[in-house]
């Protein structure tokens, strides 16, 4: 929810970002989430990846026994057709994405943990932690992946951290991945109770604040936008202050929006562009954003460009949720890539 004080802070931060830009990074990144739950093969055929340097295939979970793989299939990774992704399909997808020059990671957990998953809070307790790490390493090797992206969120994240088990898990996983030349990244919220702990930050190669969802059909202040420029500036400043090195900080942006009143609740940019045309170039709202009104709030091409320019000036790149919501000609991804000045980024592993 965008509060007036926050808006003022965001405006000040935005001005500073423009007036005092540090030197550009040599190797910015563009990270995209690739939704396995929409069907890997189908999305491979319809989604361009040309602009992305890193792709996180989402989402996989261990079962109650910490297993990531059951025979020839992933234990808990929806395939978009009511079943589970096969290990062969995951391997083939990773190979095809890597062939285009991207580094490919497996994203685990997710904002909504499915019924087939084990209880992460139980699995990451000391007795089970090593088993989870072992399984994640095994599937990384078996599928030919470049690393793991951790997307444990909200109340679950908070509970695991309060148990004292989040940072030890991340440290152990980082140690093993780094020894194999692989990456560890994380998506995180930017509100109290939803942020990864500061103690875990040094172990991640990329820290990606999800700078969106300040409002949706069932939460936030009606009449507000769900992912403002001010929120993005505030989130970048917050994570720099929390100790994330600039080159590892990646600003998360949405390729979707929310509808209110007579509009459907969920909208991807592709559909909005097709239905509303040029208005999506500059406006972040379709209709009148007010309590009880009919409107859609999203990020226009202009706002995505502004956020990418902010990331180019203050962070190490941009993260996208999610790739398949862009237009067929990749309007938003190409806009981000141009703002970042992407060449052929490489990322070395970090960690302690």
Half-sphere exposure of 271 (CA within 13 A, CB side): 12
CB 2 within 8 A of CB 225: yes
What is the pLDDT confidence band of residue 193, given thresholds at 50, 70 and 90? confident
**Mean pLDDT value of segment 326-333:** 96
Q: Which residues contact 250 (CB under 8 A, 6 or more apart)?
A: 29, 31, 206, 207, 208, 311, 315, 316, 317, 318, 319
How far apart, in Å, do the first and last CA atoms of the chain sit? 36
CB 186 within 8 A of CB 228: no
Nearest to 34, CA basis, from 22, 43, 21: 43
- Strand 29-35 to 317-321 pairing: parallel
Pick the CATH number of 27-255+300-340 from 1.10.287.110, 3.40.50.300, 3.40.50.2300, 3.20.20.80: 3.20.20.80
CB 154 within 8 A of CB 192: no
Q: Could you tell me the two tokens for 242?
A: 């929390």
The per-residue pLDDT for range 330-341, each reduced to its tens digit, is: 999 999 999 999
**Mean pLDDT value of segment 24-32:** 85
In the sheet that holds 54-60, the strands lie side by side as: 206-209, 183-188, 147-151, 103-109, 54-60, 29-35, 317-321, 250-254
pTM value surpassing 0.75: yes
The per-residue pLDDT for range 230-275, each reduced to its tens digit, is: 999 999 999 999 999 999 999 999 999 999 999 999 999 999 999 9
**Mean pLDDT value of segment 15-31:** 65
Give the pLDDT confidence score for residue 22 in this predicted structure: 53
Give the pLDDT confidence score for residue 222 in this predicted structure: 87
Residue 346 has pLDDT above 50, yes or no: no
Residue 106 pairs in a beta bridge with: 57, 148
Q: Which residues contact 6 (CB under 8 A, 6 or more apart)?
A: 230, 231, 234
Q: Distance (Å, rounded) from C-alpha 73 to C-alpha 180?
A: 24
Q: What is the 3-state secondary structure (H, E, C) of 213-233?
A: CCCECCECCCCCCCCCHHHHH
* 193: helix, strand or coil: coil
The percentage of the chain sitting over the pLDDT mark of 70, rounded to a whole number, equals 90
Give the pLDDT confidence score for residue 235 in this predicted structure: 98
**Number of other residues whose CB lies within 10 A of the CB of residue 278:** 9
Backbone phi, then psi, for 184, in 5-degree steps? -135, 120
Residue 1 has pLDDT above 90, yes or no: no
Structural domain spans, the chain? 27-255+300-340
Q: Chain-wide mean pLDDT for the chain? A: 91
Give the pLDDT confidence score for residue 347 in this predicted structure: 42
- Residue identified by tokens 């009449």 is 223
């Amino acid at each position: 929810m965008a509060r007036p004080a926050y808006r003022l802070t965001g405006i000040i931060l935005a001005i500073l970002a423009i007036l005092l830009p540090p030197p550009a990074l040599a190797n910015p990144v563009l990270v995209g989430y690739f939704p396995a739950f929409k069907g890997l093969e189908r999305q491979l055929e319809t989604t361009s990846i040309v602009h992305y340097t890193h792709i996180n295939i989402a989402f996989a979970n261990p079962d109650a026994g910490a297993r990531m793989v059951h025979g020839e299939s992933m234990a808990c990774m929806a395939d978009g057709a009511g079943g589970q992704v096969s290990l062969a399909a995951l391997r083939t997808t990773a190979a095809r994405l890597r062939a285009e020059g991207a580094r490919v990671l497996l994203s685990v957990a997710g904002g909504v943990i499915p019924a087939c998953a084990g209880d992460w809070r139980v699995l990451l307790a000391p007795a089970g932690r090593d088993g989870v790490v072992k399984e994640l390493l095994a599937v990384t090797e078996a599928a030919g992946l470049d690393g793991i992206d951790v997307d444990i969120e909200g109340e679950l994240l908070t509970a695991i951290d309060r148990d004292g088990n989040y940072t030890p898990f991340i440290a152990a996983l980082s140690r093993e991945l780094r020894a194999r030349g692989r990456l560890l990244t994380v998506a995180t919220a930017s509100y109290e109770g939803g942020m990864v702990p500061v103690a875990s930050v040094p172990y991640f190669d990329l820290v990606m604040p999800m700078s969106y969802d300040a409002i949706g059909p069932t939460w936030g202040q009606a009449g507000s936008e769900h992912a403002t420029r001010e929120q993005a500036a505030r989130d970048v400043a917050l994570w720099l202050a929390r100790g994330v090195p600039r080159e590892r900080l990646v600003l998360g942006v949405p390729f979707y929006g929310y509808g209110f009143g007579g509009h459907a609740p969920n909208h991807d940019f592709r559909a909005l562009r097709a239905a509303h045309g040029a208005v999506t170039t500059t406006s972040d709202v379709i209709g009148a954003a007010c309590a009880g009104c009919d409107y859609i709030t999203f990020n226009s091409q202009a706002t995505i460009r502004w956020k990418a320019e902010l990331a180019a000036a203050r962070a190490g790149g941009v993260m996208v949720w999610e790739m398949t919501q862009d237009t067929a000609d990749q309007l938003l991804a190409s806009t981000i890539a141009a703002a970042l000045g992407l060449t052929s980024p490489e990322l070395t592993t970090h960690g302690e």
